Amino acid sequence: METSLAQLSIADAAKKLKAKEITSLDVARACLIEIEKRNKSLNAYLEVFADVEEQAKQADARRTQDEKEGKESSPLLGIPLAIKDNILIEGRVASAASKMLEHYTASYDATVIKKLKAAGAIFLGRTNMDEFALGGSTENSAFGVTRNPHDEHRVAGGTSGGSAAAVASGLALGALGTDTGGSVRNPSSFCGVVGLKPTYGAVSRLGLIAAVSSFDQAGPLARTVEDAEILFNTIRGEDALDSTSISETEYPKRSAPKKVGVPVSLLAQGMDADVQKKFDEALAVLTKAGIPWEPIELPTLSVALATYYITNFAEVSTNLARFDGVRYGLSHKGENLFADYATSRAAGFGPETRRRIILGTYVLSAGYYDAFYGKATMAREQLRREFVEIFKKVDIIATPTMPCPATKIGEKSDPLSMYLMDIFTVTANLTGNPALSVPMGTVAREGKELPVGIQFTAAHGDEAALFTIGKTLERGYAH
């Protein structure tokens, strides 16, 4: 049987498009066929756009025009992508998978969307996520869970679960997600795709629906490291409209990665034995390829998760204060102004969002601020310094991306046990370092092969090291 064009990597599709072996319309239709087959059960897309074929025809016309003018086309010209539902595309709904914004239509393009449009990419639809990017399994979506393509009884991970499931199952060639505490890397690990959380500030956040502003970054999900790199190079860059964005020269250039550090004491806690085995194998593959590892100590890692969640609750409660039913979004009328706010927010926000707003209000309230938010801010700065120091000794920090393979839907009903799964991913958001999840094989569960990922973290601004080591690992597995 011929493999569907929807299974191509972006790089391979770009070559075939350039060589005129295929058209953008062919690729887009191949994705639409896969979507028709699987989206109903997977629930990866909340909406598939009606004009996909039209977009593809325009991309094909643009290629002809580019050739006529002797212009080099972007490798993303005519490539169909999935976009997470918290990234604004003008004229389309962006709901952040929340009842609060169910009928909200974006009034402008996010900068990342502007850049993808300029490159000529096609948008297939908007993908499911945990409401307002709060969660780790896409079970917190107001519009139903996204199922894992490798076992539909299991979660796809989150919060960018729809994007990861779409890329893993051929419903898109690549995708954009956002990463606040692992939201690109966690579903990448569970679904078996590559996911990048760029350096804080490397990608503009104009037009992203904010969750935790001091953590949020948009990042690509793709089938290969090379594809993730293509997407990152297209969306990156300083933006005058996002004062937290940085220029490409903000951090010093570093040489290619030679040494990996593994925080062994962090790995000692609560790791799945099969995941540990895969991780050891991946390190052996890298050693064989000339990149050895050594144990490292990062003392403040022991409180990273607590630091992360305190900051998350605090910023979520303040960021989501903007949803008051007055200017846009769900609006209920009560007996008085207070009731207008309280009932609109009760009806618009799901249980996890409400829980975090309450917790954020607590950690920021007078009497508790210093003990929680104040302390977390200091611990965060300390951890960041430890990272800066350790990157003088090693080029990459490696851990598994997640301590386990995808969990069953409904398995983690206690919110704290769900939070504890983020142990490896939250640190890169705390410190602002870039981090990449790359598939490191599968583990067997109940007759199904479930993917697991390895996470590489690099020095600030050193995405290049991540792509290099990621490709080294991919090549190592291929041999």
The number of CA neighbours under 13 Å toward the Cβ of 198 is 28
Asked if 98 and 132 touch (Cβ cutoff 8 Å), the reply is: yes
442 binds another protein (CB under 8 A): no
Among 45, 132, 215, 372, binds another protein (CB under 8 A): 372
**Separation CA 141–CA 163 (nearest Å):** 13
**At how many degrees (to 10) do helices 24-42 and 52-68 cross?**
150
- Rule CB under 8 A: is residue 365 a binding residue for another protein? yes
Note whether 179 and 429 are within 8 A (CB).
yes
The number of beta carbons lying within 10 Å of the beta carbon of residue 451 is 22
Q: Phi, psi (5° rounding) for residue 407? A: -85, 165
Residue 17's CB is within 10 A of a number of other CB atoms, namely 23
Q: How far apart are CA 121 and CA 278, in angstroms?
A: 35
Contact characters 391-420, another protein, x per CB under 8 A:
-----------------------xxx--x-
Write the interaction track for another protein spanning residues 281-320; mark x where CB under 8 A is met and - where it is not.
Answer: -------------------x-xx--xx-xx------x---
**Do the beta carbons of residue 237 and residue 271 sit within 8 Å?**
no
SS3 state of residue 69: coil
Smallest gap from residue 122 Cβ to another protein (A): 22
Q: Which C-beta is closer to another protein: that of 61 or that of 388?
A: 388
The sign of the dihedral angle between the CA atoms of 234, 240, 243, 246 is: positive
Q: List Cα–Cα distances, 34 to 15, 172, 174, 203, in angstroms.
A: 22, 9, 14, 30
Other C-beta atoms closer than 10 Å to the C-beta of 66 total 15
Nearest C-alpha neighbor of 193 from the set 228, 219, 158:
228
Interacting span for another protein (CB under 8 A) from 9-17, 148-156, 381-389, 404-412: 381-389
Shortest distance in whole angstroms from residue 323 CB to another protein: 10
Distance in angstroms (rounded) separating the CA atoms of residues 219 and 327: 29
Rounded to 5 degrees, what are φ and ψ at 29? -65, -40
Residue 390 interacts with another protein (CB under 8 A): yes or no: no
Q: What is the nearest approach in angstroms of another protein to the Cβ of residue 384?
A: 6
Say whether residue 252 binds another protein (CB under 8 A): yes
Which among 59-67, 129-137, 184-192, 374-382 is the span making contact with another protein, rule CB under 8 A?
374-382
Kindly state the smallest distance separating residue 306's Cβ from another protein, in Å.
4
Stretch that binds another protein, among 30-38, 69-77, 369-377, 468-476 (CB under 8 A): 369-377
Q: Does 93 bind another protein (CB under 8 A)?
A: no
- Least distance (Å) from another protein to the CB of residue 464? 17
Name the residue nearer to another protein (CB basis): 111 or 468: 111
Contact residue for another protein among 147, 223, 380, 412 (CB under 8 A) = 380
- For residue 114 the two structure tokens come to 């502007």
Examine residue 118 and tell whether it contacts another protein (CB under 8 A).
no
The binder of another protein chosen from 34, 109, 130, 216 (CB under 8 A): 109
Residue closer to another protein (CB basis): 273 or 416: 416
Residues 6+ apart with CB under 8 A from 298: 263, 266, 383, 386, 387, 390
Cite the beta strand spans of 189-282 per DSSP E: 194-197, 217-222, 260-262
Chain residues 179-218 in contact with another protein, contact rule CB under 8 A: 206-207, 214
Residues 51-90 vs another protein: string with x where CB under 8 A?
Answer: ---------------------------------------x
Total Cβ atoms within 10 A of residue 390: 17
CA distance 220 to 228: 6
Using CB under 8 A as the binding rule, whether residue 426 contacts another protein is answered as no
Q: Is 377 in the site for another protein (CB under 8 A)?
A: yes
| By CB under 8 A, residue 238 contacts another protein | no
What's the closest the beta carbon of residue 421 comes to another protein, in angstroms?
A: 13
Establish if 256 lies at the interface with another protein (CB under 8 A).
no
241: contact with another protein by CB under 8 A: yes
Q: Which of 355, 442, 448, 464 binds another protein (CB under 8 A)?
A: 355
For the CB of residue 398, give the shortest distance to another protein in the complex, in Å. Answer: 22
Q: How far is CA 103 from the centre of its chain?
A: 24
User: Residue 190 belongs to what H/E stretch?
Assistant: helix 185-191
Binding pattern for the stretch 136-175 against another protein, x by CB under 8 A and - elsewhere: ----------------------------------------
Cβ(412)–Cβ(167) below 8 Å: no
Q: Does 376 bind another protein (CB under 8 A)?
A: yes
Residue span 314-343 as binding mask against another protein, x where in contact by CB under 8 A, dash where not: ---x---x--xxxxxx-x----xxxxxxxx
Q: Which of residues 12-41 bind another protein (CB under 8 A)?
A: none
Residue with tokens 């951890």: 383
